[in-house]
């Protein structure tokens, strides 16, 4: 009987260990350890803003292929002699400078889309680093407050015993209990901040419900930054002008100005003469059908607003503002 009890004891311990291993395994699987480099790479791969920027670049490249796009031909059916209907085709072709300006505008649009993609990439990296740093700070704060909470709970138990023994007053007991509750409330707030930081990082990485944990805490990141601080500072430009030249936001703004200038040049180019070429069939009951060709030139002689007139300063109180649009002849 004794042998059976001794043999059955380890079995119960093994069953108890397996039962306790389940919750700990689930808790370990729920936490996802991630590093800063891995978080940056995953955010650059899954962030919707970067996918949108890629689609904008593809759209601008597709528009460039249609820069040489003449107007649709006009199909005519006329009866010059009033006896029989005859078909005809008329095609309008712009001045060659117009198509060259359209290609320049398309290239400027592609460059602007690429600059905006660089700005989006820098913004995503900045948001990811800030979210990861917030996660590290929240984890460090929870560790500190957990240690303080354990100390205050032990101090609270010791205070209760001293108060029961009559060695301390009620005021000291209430003061210790208030400090312990304050630390407990701070721990709850830090836990909520940790969940918010995990949620923020998860949204950037495309996994909102995942509970991420930083692979390195602030105690290890601090000395690493101190060691590599000199190298990081030496890589920065010494003058502010050099730093501004490398800024992706400034590059995007400069490219936006170039796109506007290309648009103004396109408006000017469209005010050049256009040529119209067409064929028309003439037929009657007596004469056989004859195909006649025609060539015409359309010269803009209207008084529509031009790009130069739109750039002139006009008083807002006397004249209403006009928009930079091509004239009706263009």
Instruction: Give the tens place of pLDDT for each residue, 113-136.
Output: 888 898 889 889 889 989 998 998
Round the average pLDDT of the chain to a whole number and report it. Answer: 73
What string of DSSP letters covers 236-299? S-SSHHHHHHT-HHHHHHHHHHHHHHHHHHHHHHTTS-EEEEEEEEE--SSSPPEEEEEEEEE-
Q: Say whether domain 33-60+97-215+246-268 belongs to CATH 1.20.1600.10.
A: yes
**pTM score, whole prediction:** 0.61
Dist CA 77 CA 75 (whole Å):
7
Q: pLDDT tens across 221-240, in order? A: 666 656 655 665 566 555 55
Q: Which of 115, 126, 120 is nearest to 48 (CA)?
A: 120
HSE of 330, CA atoms in CB hemisphere, 13 A: 17
With 80 as the cut, is the pLDDT of residue 15 above it?
A: no
pLDDT at 232: 55
Provide mean pLDDT across the span 170-189.
Answer: 90
Write phi, then psi, for 277 (nearest 5 degrees). -125, 135
pLDDT of the residue at 194:
92
- Longest CA–CA span in the chain (Å) reads 134
Query: What are the sequence ranges of the domains in the chain?
Result: 33-60+97-215+246-268
* Residues 162, 144: Cα–Cα separation, whole Å: 27
pLDDT at 189: 93
Q: What is the structure's pLDDT at 220? A: 64
Sort residue 82 into left (φ over 0), alpha (ψ -120 to 50) or beta.
left
pLDDT at 166: 84
When mean pLDDT is compared over 1-5, 37-41, 246-250, 273-277, the highest value belongs to: 37-41
Whole-angstrom CA distances from 141 to 144, 147, 193, 270 are 5, 10, 10, 65
pLDDT of residue 326: 41
CB 132 within 8 Å of CB 197: no
In the chain the beta strands, taken as DSSP E runs, fall at 31-34, 74-78, 86-93, 211-214, 274-282, 290-298
Question: Considering only 82-91, 94-103, 271-280, which range has the smallest mean pLDDT?
Answer: 271-280
Query: Does the pLDDT of residue 27 top 50, yes or no?
Result: no
For residue range 268-285, what is the model confidence (pLDDT) as tens digits? Answer: 776 766 666 666 666 666
Mean pLDDT check: name the lowest of 54-63, 153-162, 281-290. Answer: 281-290
**Would you list the DSSP string of 5-31?**
HHHHHHHHHHHHHHHHHHHHHHHHHHE
User: What average pLDDT does this structure show over 63-91?
Assistant: 74
Rounded Cα gap, residues 40 and 124, in angstroms: 8
First to last CA, the chain: 108
Is the per-residue pLDDT at 107 higher than 80?
A: yes
């Amino acid at each position: 009987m004794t042998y059976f009890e001794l043999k059955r004891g380890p079995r119960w311990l093994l069953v108890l260990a397996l039962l306790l291993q389940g919750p700990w395994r689930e808790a370990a699987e729920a936490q996802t350890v991630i590093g800063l480099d891995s978080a940056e790479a995953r955010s650059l791969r899954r962030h919707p803003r970067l996918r949108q920027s890629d689609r904008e670049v593809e759209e601008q490249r597709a528009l460039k292929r249609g820069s040489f796009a003449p107007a649709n031909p006009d199909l005519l059916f006329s009866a010059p002699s009033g006896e029989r209907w005859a078909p005809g085709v008329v095609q309008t072709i712009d001045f060659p400078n117009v198509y060259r300006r359209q290609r320049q505008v398309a290239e400027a649009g592609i460059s602007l889309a690429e600059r905006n993609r660089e700005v989006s990439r820098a913004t995503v990296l900045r948001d990811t680093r800030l979210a990861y740093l917030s996660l590290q700070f929240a984890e460090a704060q929870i560790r500190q407050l957990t240690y303080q909470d354990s100390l205050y709970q032990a101090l609270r138990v010791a205070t209760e015993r001293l108060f029961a023994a009559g060695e301390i007053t009620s005021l000291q007991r209430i003061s210790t209990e208030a400090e312990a509750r304050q630390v407990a409330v701070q721990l709850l707030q830090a836990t909520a901040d940790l969940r918010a930081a995990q949620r923020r990082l998860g949204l950037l990485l495309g996994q909102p419900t995942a509970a991420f944990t930083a692979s390195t805490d602030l105690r290890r990141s601090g000395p690493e930054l101190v060691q590599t601080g000199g190298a990081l500072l030496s890589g920065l430009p010494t003058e502010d002008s050099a730093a501004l030249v490398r800024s992706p936001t400034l590059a995007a703004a400069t490219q936006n100005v170039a796109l506007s200038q290309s648009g103004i040049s396109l408006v000017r180019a469209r005010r050049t003469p256009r040529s119209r070429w067409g064929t028309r069939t003439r037929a009657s009951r007596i004469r056989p059908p004859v195909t006649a060709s025609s060539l015409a030139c359309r010269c803009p002689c209207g008084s529509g607003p031009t790009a130069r007139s739109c750039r002139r300063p006009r008083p807002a109180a006397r004249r209403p503002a006009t928009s930079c649009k091509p004239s009706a002849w263009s």
